[in-house]
Amino acid sequence: MKKLASLLLFAIITIVAHSQPCLPEGITFSSQAKIDSFQINYPNCTEIEGDVTILGEDITNLSGLSNLITIKGSATIGGFWNEALTSLTGLENLVIIGGRLRIIGNEKLADLTPLNNLTTIGEDLQIAGNDSLTSLNGLEKIDTIRGDLEIGSGLWILGGNRR
């Protein structure tokens, strides 16, 4: 009977641990080390409730974020400081962003293909100032943008229509 009770308690704790809310206040990744340690610090986090900002001079890859499926807030990648980021590899499992998605000022970002499972953006999609970006491949599965679509070059963003 003790074994059954222990097993049941373990199962309940495991279920609760996997379904706990993650980072309701959001998170800013300001270094590669912070990205690399994300799965260690938040091993069961697949859904971030707050905003996510990725902004750091030494960030080269996003592999440490590969367990993310949903960001309920907004996501900002860049802001004219991600000089070393060449790929969004690590975001392949991301399906939903509840707020806005901004990919801005990533000088060496070559492609968006790791976003190929993204289907929903709850607000605006803004892409600008990514000088090495030559296509929007990877965004084909997006079927919902509940805001503006803004694609531009340099520091200026060209506006789109509300959908």
Tens digit of each residue's pLDDT (9 = 90 or more) over 18-68: 445 699 999 999 999 999 999 999 999 999 999 999 999 999 999 999 999
What pTM was estimated for this model as a whole?
0.81
Among 7-21, 132-146, 147-161, the range scoring the smallest mean pLDDT is 7-21
Beta bridge partners of 102: 76, 126
Q: Does 157 or 5 have the greater pLDDT score?
A: 5
How far apart CA 71 and CA 94 sit, in angstroms, is 8
Asked if 103 and 130 touch (Cβ cutoff 8 Å), the reply is yes
The model's confidence at residue 157, banded by pLDDT at 50, 70 and 90, is: very low
How far apart CA 75 and CA 95 sit, in angstroms, is 13
Asked if 102 and 126 touch (Cβ cutoff 8 Å), the reply is yes
